[in-house]
Structure 1
């Protein structure tokens, strides 16, 4: 099995946290800055992980407000 990119690992972790109810539908995810600090990665890595969750339909982004778990 090929190694996975860090953004994929982060997206999977956040997806699991959403599925477990840690972030219920309608809740706001931590800020980009908080996620960068938590996962110890750069901004583009978090942006790519957020893109994966958005494509999967798990999150919705409100510009200037934040990223929310899809209802």
Structure 2
């Protein structure tokens, strides 16, 4: 077992970091209830990640009840 110094926080997956960032932006009002989130392509470019990473981040927000997806329309902040 490797020695640890103080309280270490395990590394987080990129999708978790993105989901947390978007959740903070929703909570701050940057994306108010009912507003459409940026497109998948825009998020991929903004965060410099692949499509599966964005899909997983969106899944986290949906599970938390923060967003709703309308197929063919987009992802919206839950009311």
Which structure has greater helix proportion?
1
Q: Which runs of 4+ in 1 moved over 2 A?
A: none
Q: Pick the structure with greater CA Rg.
A: 2
Structure 2 counterpart SS, 1:17 = helix
Q: Matched residues in 2 for 1:15 and 1:5: separation? A: 15
TM-score w.r.t. structure 2 length? 0.90
Give a deviation string over 1:10-34, Cα, whole Å, max 9, x none: 0000000000000000000000000
What is the root-mean-square deviation in Å for CA atoms of aligned residues? 0.2
Unmatched tracts of structure 1, length 5 or more: none
Structure 2 counterpart SS, 1:45 = helix
